[in-house]
Structure 1
Amino acid sequence: MDDIEVRAVRPDEWRAVRELRLAALQDDAAPLAFFDTYESAVKQPDSFWQERAAGARQFVAVGAGGEWVGGLAVLVEEAGSLDWAGLPVERRQGQVVGVYVRPAARGGGVVVGGLFRAALEYAWEIGLDRVRLLVHEENRRAVTAYERIGFVASGVVVPIEGADGNELEYVYARAPKGTRSSER
């Protein structure tokens, strides 16, 4: 998987965005990883997918044969707003959502690492100094990957109404210029 290209998704690629999302929602970990179902998503009209492709900054990992093997999106949360769970956002920050890597491309961290490098570079370029994500407390595969990248648990626990378990917040903070600290 060393021949992976990671790049931003273009709005005209909405069909590929749809296909990758539907694949993600059929993954064994989907019930823990996503707040959506295949049954719901497959019914969405083309306009939904067109808006999704043109909305938040999304990154895709493309294999040598042109197949999309992974993706994620970065949402920008503004201080003073409410996040998707209705909780107050205290500072301008990024939130990574929709992380997915096809099973054949997993292992070794090449794909997920490339996706997160692109996401963090984007966040720093637009002036963010903190990126967060939420992960289900039982999704150990994802937690392990995020910790390997450098995300650390913030201690924030988000209970999800009507769901088993909680979401845990993990953060990655940009080190201040001129410091060597890896403290997040």
Structure 2
Amino acid sequence: MTYQVRSLHADEWPRAKALRLAALQDPVAAIAFMETYESAVARPDSFWRERAERSAEGASGAQQIIAQGPDGEWVGTVTVLIEKPGTTDWAGAPVERLQGHLVGVFMRPGHRGIGLTEVLFDAGLEWAWAQGAERVRLLVHADNARALRAYRKAGFAETGVTMTLGGAPDDLELELAVERPESDR
């Protein structure tokens, strides 16, 4: 099967919304995402339009990458946020250097385990390196075994940092275990 992996376009917000809502119905959504299906589905279309505009191709500071199946269905996504030194990240932790932060990782069940997540990550990493990121990280709940396996397979390793996002220190920080290409420095 042939998949297309590319950046989101701002006018595709309805499809981005539908994919996010599908992600929030996944069995591990409660520990994988920082919102519920109920809160997301209640948001107005203006929220989804603005969200797509902030992370669409050519946007500054964030980039949403989507995977489209051979039949045109959107089957996966990852968003890369650029975090600048001297600021705090969305969880309130200080940012010490320019870094990419992968969030909103989702792959529809019928497309998991075929290497497509790594292709999404490669596209997100390429964008982060082009923005000057010194490292790329992500957070994952310690009980999300499926995601941990996928992230490790893609080359991410635990940093030893844990975050308290849901009342207990149960989110692990992982960063890319290999350095970015010399040509990108």
| Shared fold per TM-score greater than 0.5 | yes
Q: CA deviation at 1:47?
A: 0.7
TM-score, reference length from structure 2: 0.90
TM-superposed CA distance for 1:77, in Å, is: 0.3
Cα 1:16/1:176, change in 2 over 3 Å: closer
- In the TM superposition, what is the alpha-carbon distance from 1:161 to its structure 2 partner? 4.1
- Tell me which of 145, 151, 155 is aligned to 2:156: 151
**Aligned partners of 2:181, 2:12: CA distance in 1, in Å?**
36
1:58 aligned onto 2:57? no
**Equivalent residue runs for 1:156-167 within 5 Å:** 156-162=161-167, 166-167=170-171
Amino acid at match of 1:108: I
Equivalent-residue separation in structure 2 for 1:152 and 1:19 (angstroms):
31
Task: Give the corresponding residue for 1:113.
Answer: 118
Counterpart residue number, 1:182: none
Question: Who is 2:109 aligned against?
Answer: 103
> 2:17 is matched with which residue?
18
Does structure 2 conserve the Cα–Cα contact (< 8 Å) formed by 1:136 and 1:165? no
Percent identity over paired residues: 51
Distance 1:38 1:117, change over 3 A: same
* 2:98 match: 92
Contact 2:163–2:169 at 8 Å: present in 1 too? no
Partner AA of 1:65 in structure 2: D
TM-aligned CA deviation for residue 113 of structure 1: 1.2
Counterpart in the other structure of 2:29: 30
Q: How many residues align?
A: 175
1:85, distance to aligned residue in structure 2 (A): 1.2
1:40 maps to 2:45: no
Query: Alignment partner of 2:182: what SS?
Result: coil
Say what the alpha-carbon RMSD is for the aligned residues: 1.4
2 CA distance for matches of 1:132 and 1:91?
A: 12
Counterpart residue number, 2:57: none
Corresponding residue number in structure 1 for 2:82:
76
Deviations 1:96-115 (A, max 9, x none): 00000000111122x20110
Deviation at 1:134, TM superposition (A): 0.1
- Contact kept, 8 Å, 1:137 with 1:165, in 2: the verdict is no
What runs of 5+ residues in structure 2 fail to find an aligned partner? 55-61
Secondary structure in structure 2 of the residue aligned to 1:141? helix
Q: TM-score, length-normalised on structure 1?
A: 0.91
Write the mapping of 1:131-150 to structure 2, written as runs, cut at 5 A: 131-150=136-155
Between stretches 124-133 and 92-101, larger displacement belongs to 124-133
